[in-house]
Structure 1
Amino acid sequence: MKMSIHGKQLVITDAIREYAESKIGRVEKYHDGIIELAVSLSAVRLKTGNYHTAEVLAYLGGSTVKATCTEEDLYAAIDQVTDKLEGQLKKHKEKIQDAIRSREPIVRKMKYNPDTMVVEKEAAADVVKVYLPPKPMSIEEAILQLEILKKVFFPFTNADTGEMNIVYKRKDGDYGHIEPEKK
């Protein structure tokens, strides 16, 4: 992880740099996708007094997380921006993990074995087997079988081409036919 520390209207001393690197560097354990941290420390004089602002941009793979904090003491601003950034990184990581978990059941890889004429789902313990009828048939016969068996789709060996085809019932009531691409 790369970290760059810049000062605006503020001289970054070695003590400030070491403190910021040690404090802000610990956020790396909360998200493993951090590519770079850009830290900007600034000093502002307002009517109510002198204030220090610490701003951190965390560049992740494809997104950016920003945390900003303003305090009278620079070290307190660094502490608070670190706490804010930790919370945001935890929340971002949980969002990504939830999205991955919600997509898991949808993704299923199917594999057709032409030797056994079986369509199998590639998974650890769950194997869905669909047996093709032994005799080749025409598309019309396959549609009849689809209706008789009351299935949504019906794989079969096409009598004309000798290859596996699929007929299915569409939502509009018509039938669809899937065949391999001809080379």
Structure 2
Amino acid sequence: MKMIISGKNMEVTDALRDTTEKKLGKLDKYFFKDAEAYVTFSVEKDRQIIEVTIPFAGAIIRAEEFTDDMYTSIDKAVDVLERQVKKHKTKLQRRKHNGKTIRFENIPSLDTQERDNEPKIVKTKRFAIKPMDEEEAVLQMDLLGHNFFVFRNADSDEVNVVYKRKDGNYGLIEPEY
């Protein structure tokens, strides 16, 4: 797996780069060599943050972890990514990806007890999507007390999503075709 490592508000040392490549190398057995992992390190006050994104065959796995020690953050992120790959193995296989970037034979199956505890869709809601701008969508989301809100953008006439970020700010998701 190819790793693209960068730092935000910090310099990535050789030791940090080597440790990251070694730890994320544990995931090599799940992916073919042409898979890429995007790793971003950042520091905010006393939070050492690592973000890892691995796009493959139309899907993405992602982990963002932070602790007061970057090396501990790396360990936690690798554990999260490995759990995601194992948990979503059958879902990924069902989507019939071409199999050129992920090697399913190396991913162990979940035992039946873990499979029974998997989340399921238990409720479906339908609602009219009214055209509005981003600020109005954020206001609606706050009034509803939700973490996200789906709306039709009045400017682009596309379906967008606004969401509340962990840092207290808001994010906007726009479709890309």
**TM-score using structure 2 length:** 0.50
SS in structure 2 at match of 1:3:
strand
Correspondence for 2:78 among 73, 82, 97: 82
SS in structure 1 at match of 2:10:
coil
Correspondence for 1:61 among 54, 57, 70: 57
In the TM superposition, what are the counterparts of 1:93-104 in structure 2 within 5 Å? Answer: 93-98=89-94
Q: How many residue pairs align between the two structures?
A: 96
In the TM superposition, what are the counterparts of 1:1-183 in structure 2 within 5 Å? Answer: 1-32=1-32, 35-45=35-45, 50-98=46-94
| Aligned-residue offset at 1:73 | 0.3
Opposite residue 93 of structure 1, the aligned amino acid is K
Structure with more of its chain in strand, by fraction: 1
The equivalent residue for 2:121 is none
Opposite residue 96 of structure 1, the aligned amino acid is L
**TM-score using structure 1 length:** 0.48
Structure number with bigger Rg: 1
Indicate conservation of the 8 Å contact 2:52/2:63, yes or no: yes
Tell me how far apart the structure 2 counterparts of residues 57 and 92 of structure 1 sit (CA, whole Å): 16
The equivalent residue for 2:175 is none
| Aligned-residue offset at 1:90 | 1.7
| 1:56-109 superposed Cα distances (whole Å, 9 cap, x missing partner) | 001111111111101000000000000001111122323223556xxxxxxxxx
Unaligned runs of 5+ residues in structure 1 are 101-183
Opposite residue 61 of structure 1, the aligned amino acid is A
RMSD: 1.8
Tell me how far apart the structure 2 counterparts of residues 90 and 31 of structure 1 sit (CA, whole Å): 12
| 1:130-154 superposed Cα distances (whole Å, 9 cap, x missing partner) | xxxxxxxxxxxxxxxxxxxxxxxxx
| 1:79–1:70 Cα change, 3 Å | same
